Amino acid sequence: LLYIGVGLNAKSNYVFLGKVRVRTLIGLMVFDITVILYQFINRYILVTGLAIAFNIVILIIIFYFVDVIFDEVTGLKNKEGFKRSCSEYIKKARSVDGYYIFKLEIYNLKVINEKYGYEESNEIINFLSKRIETSLKDFTNDYIIGRIGGDDFAIMAPYDGVSHPDMVCNLQTVMGSDDPKYDYVAYLYAGACEIKDKKSDVTTILDNADYALGYIRGKYNNHIAVYEGRIQEDDKNTKEIEQRERQAIENDEFALYLQPIYDTKTQRVVSAEALVRWIPEDGKIISPGAFIPIFEKNGFITKLDLLIFSKVCRNLRKWLDEGLNVVPVSVNFSRIDMMSNNIIMDIMSIINAHRIPHELIKIEITESAFNDNDDRTIENMKTLHDEGFKIMMDDFGSGYSNLNMFREMPIDIVKIDMVFLKNIEISDNGKIVVKSVVEMTKKLGLPVVVEGVETDEQYDFINNIDCEMTQGYLFSKPIPAGDFEKNILRG
Ligand code: C2E
Ligand code: CA
Ligand code: CA
């Protein structure tokens, strides 16, 4: 009865127990039945005692230790197990020359998951893992494989990048199912990193492989990237920047620059855009293009944007107190900021602390954020709009412009992307495009800013088509906030 109970329980909880445990339980059952049969022939109390002790020991092992190193779904090693095996291999091997660690990802597992549900997806993952391993065997028998996360596998194997450029089972050829029950294709991508020497740390190599994977994930014609050359340099640069970010805030290395924005007709300064500059101790200015994308990835951007915002507020307060004729200032907020739950609270507490009228702040958000379709983003933008901040859509036309968003989103001003101006010099078609975009935004009742105005020809053109505001090197580059005060507000 006890066995039937355990058996039924194990069957219904199969997914949680995993293969390794279920197999061990079956083994244990066979063992116990043998012992019981033996007892019929030769009743011996010590055997019963030993059998019970053996059962307890095995149960403790499989429930407390086995799952630490095996993946429940595929029976492969899990992350811990994979790392352990690799470290052991590296330690024991005479040489690891030419060995690589791969991180392999089923790119579209989420879609497969949504289509088939949890249990079926596990079956599919299991099937794919077999496929990966089989084709790996065509290539070498000297490998370690593990499933190290939901859609991630890891492999350690020799690799020369030439005789088998795609490594595992032709990553490019999509993997489908043999089972008519399922209809899917799985896309595989891999990042690889060489094991340089016997002192190498597996976790670091796996991280590097992961970084390389990020370079080609989702690409159409490239499914594998090796951590070397440009990718490696990029990663080093990223890590260095990340290491310096906190200290940079403490040392006040992020400076506020302002670029004046002009009324196109009168050429008077009517506004300004806040742009950050990183000025380290050595005085060599780092431009935002070098660090903003990194901060957007690691989340530090929100801290930076709020810092720049508070610098803007501090300056405005000072100028108001001194009775200067201030102009509204636009502050760039990353789309990452807009997805946060606390951003409104943070913005409000900064602006309230400085007692700045809300209409003096414009919030610049890139067009792509409007396309994110993120509920939190939409809600945050609406709240900011209701609070009296002007919402500006930055870089309009740079992405997949979705005209619907003008109906659904609280947009007050549109800033046209710089590439349009570059185009007008190339062709008349370029001019037609800019003209139509401006006409459309006007029909919607929205003022337009054109940025990146560098030449007289560009200026004349946008003046002719009635763009309200102009920003660009022709009139002024971004300048330190102090210079803005001195030359523009007091000048
Ligand atoms: P953006 O928001 O599109 O800012 C305009 C960029 O164009 C600025 O580059 C500006 O210096 C540059 N620019 C202005 N006029 C001209 C021109 O006539 N010709 C050319 N070629 N360029 C012009 P910058 O300051 O290097 O900033 C680059 C990007 O970094 C910004 O693009 C923005 O996306 C981001 N960024 C800058 N500061 C911040 C910030 O505080 N927070 C966030 N989240 N992003 C920022
Ligand atoms: Ca901007
Ligand atoms: Ca822009």
User: Within 10 A of 247 (CB to CB), how many other CB atoms are there?
Assistant: 10
Q: Is the dihedral of CA 463, 466, 467, 470 positive or negative?
A: positive
Task: Determine contact, residues 387/393, Cβ cutoff 8 Å.
Answer: no
Q: How far apart are CA 470 and CA 449, in angstroms?
A: 6
For the chain (491 residues), the mean pLDDT of every run of 10, in chain order, is 78 65 85 88 84 89 73 90 91 91 92 90 90 83 93 91 57 67 86 92 96 91 90 94 94 98 98 98 94 95 98 98 98 96 97 98 93 89 97 88 80 92 81 88 92 94 94 98 97 86
Q: What is the pLDDT of residue 471?
A: 97
**What residue has token string 């459309």?**
440
Q: Which of 480, 428, 476, 427 is nearest to 453 (CA)?
A: 476
DSSP string, 357-397: -GGGEEEEEEHHHHHS--HHHHHHHHHHHHTTPEEEEEEET
The secondary structure of residue 141, as a DSSP letter, is: S
Segments in 62-143 forming alpha helices (H): 67-69, 79-92, 109-137
* Ligand 1 pocket, residues with Cβ under 6 angstroms: 259, 275-276, 287-289, 292, 301, 305, 308, 332, 334, 394-395, 451-454, 471-473, 478
| Residue 75, helix vs strand vs coil | coil
- Nearest Cα residue to atom 34 of ligand 1: 332
Q: Which residues are placed with Cβ below 5 angstroms of ligand 3, an ion?
A: 394-395
CA 183 to centroid of ligand 1, rounded, Å? 46
- Nearest Cα residue to atom 4 of ligand 1: 275
CA 414 to centroid of ligand 3, rounded, Å? 10
- Nearest Cα residue to atom 30 of ligand 1: 288
| Residue 159, helix vs strand vs coil | coil
Q: Which of 131, 183, 184 is nearest to 153 (CA)?
A: 131
Mutate-to-test residue for ligand 1 from 286, 301, 450, 451, highest number of ligand atoms within 8 A of CB: 451
CA 451 to centroid of ligand 1, rounded, Å? 10
- Nearest Cα residue to atom 43 of ligand 1: 332
Mutate-to-test residue for ligand 1 from 256, 292, 333, highest number of ligand atoms within 8 A of CB: 292
Q: How far apart are CA 442 and CA 446, in angstroms?
A: 5
- Nearest Cα residue to atom 21 of ligand 1: 452
Residue 451 CA, closest ligand 1 atom number:
15
The secondary structure of residue 164, as a DSSP letter, is: S
Q: How far apart are CA 55 and CA 10, in angstroms?
A: 16
- Ligand closest in space to the Cα of 392: 2
Task: Please give the span between the terminal C-alpha atoms of the chain, in angstroms, as a whole number.
Answer: 94
CA 359 to centroid of ligand 3, rounded, Å? 21
Q: How far apart are CA 257 and CA 259, in angstroms?
A: 7
Mutate-to-test residue for ligand 1 from 262, 330, 332, 469, highest number of ligand atoms within 8 A of CB: 332
| Element at 240 (helix H, strand E) | helix 229-250
| Residue 478, helix vs strand vs coil | coil
| Element at 236 (helix H, strand E) | helix 229-250
Task: Determine contact, residues 212/159, Cβ cutoff 8 Å.
Answer: no
Q: How far apart are CA 5 and CA 87, in angstroms?
A: 41
Residue 296 CA, closest ligand 1 atom number:
44
Six-digit token pair at 400? Answer: 């997949």
Q: What is the pLDDT of residue 170?
A: 58
Q: What is the pLDDT of residue 313?
A: 98
CA 259 to centroid of ligand 2, rounded, Å? 10
Q: How far apart are CA 372 and CA 394, in angstroms?
A: 14
Report CA Rg, the chain.
31
Residue 337 CA, closest ligand 1 atom number:
44
CA 289 to centroid of ligand 2, rounded, Å? 12
Q: Which of 292, 301, 304 is nearest to 253 (CA)?
A: 304
* Biggest alpha carbon–alpha carbon distance for the chain: 109
Q: How far, in whole angstroms, is CA 279 from its chain's centroid?
A: 27
The secondary structure of residue 64, as a DSSP letter, is: I
CA 435 to centroid of ligand 1, rounded, Å? 23
